[in-house]
Amino acid sequence: MHTNTILPVSPLDESLRACDRQHHYYHYQSSVQYLWLARTYEALGEYEEARVCYDKAIFQDHWNREAIIGKQQGFLGFIEPPTYDKHPLFDLEFCTELGISPTPASLAHDDAVHAMLRHDYESAIHGFDRAIQVDLTHSNSYFGKGKCAFLMQDYILASICFREAIRLSHLAHDGYHRHASDLHAQRARWYERKGEVDLAIADYSKALDLNTRNLEARTSRGLLYQVKGNTRMAEADLL
């Protein structure tokens, strides 16, 4: 007869679930940014760059159908604005989804979005610039400015804005990996104190998947492998 094992509930579980939600949005954010940049390169006649961006959009979200279709069409100058909507248009919606507080940059960004939806693109660009002045790392505002430039057929400005938005998104994504890695390492230590060695090893492994430079997680996992008598795995971590 098999009995169900009730796993201990870590106080970090909710924080990790929030991190997972945030991680999904980073991928959606990058996917849509690459999609718009691909369309921009098509408008500029830079088809090899467009192909690379379509591939990156698909890598970030394998179900980004617009990127898949755009790539399959053979770069025939399809420059209609995308409709991909997995990443929220408004920052307030984004903050609500992730359970974080909106910032002054978020509020300025959303005012600019309203102007963009009214097709008042020049006012929207000024609004996104105000948000960027408040927070130079606000990727969504560079992205919004790029969309307005695209819709005004200023494809050079659009490409500059989209590339900066992507750069900032990647920096935020790297920060997520380091933060989530630290949370998994913390939960692993909690499991250790509870005597749940296998669960601790699993979390240390996840921490290292997220950040291979987390040396504390690697050393701690190696010591636990020693406890389990797995000399080969211990040596690999502790060398």
Query: How does residue 2 score in pLDDT terms, banded at 50, 70 and 90?
Result: very low
pLDDT at 72: 85
Tally of CA atoms within 13 A in the half-sphere of 98 that contains its CB: 20
Q: Write down the pLDDT at residue 15.
A: 79
What does the pLDDT look like over 145-181, one tens digit per residue? 999 999 999 999 999 999 999 999 999 888 888 888 8
Among 19-28, 80-89, 132-141, the range scoring the smallest mean pLDDT is: 19-28
Residue 19 confidence (pLDDT) above 80: no
pLDDT band at 78 (very low <50, low <70, confident <90, very high): low
Cβ contacts of residue 92 below 8 Å, gap of 6+? Answer: 102, 106, 107, 110
SS (H, E, C) 132-146: HHHCCCCHHHHHHHH
CA dist list (Å): 114 to 98, 118, 183, 187, 239: 22, 6, 37, 42, 56
pLDDT above 80 for 3: no
Q: Which domains does the chain have, with CATH numbers?
A: 178-238 (1.25.40.10)
Q: What is the mean pLDDT of residues 233-238?
A: 92
**Residues 81-121 pLDDT 10s:** 899 988 889 999 888 877 778 899 999 999 999 999 999 99
Per-residue pLDDT band for 209 (boundaries 50, 70, 90) equals very high
Query: Distance between CA 38 and CA 60 in Å, rounded?
Result: 14
Q: What is the pLDDT of residue 1?
A: 38
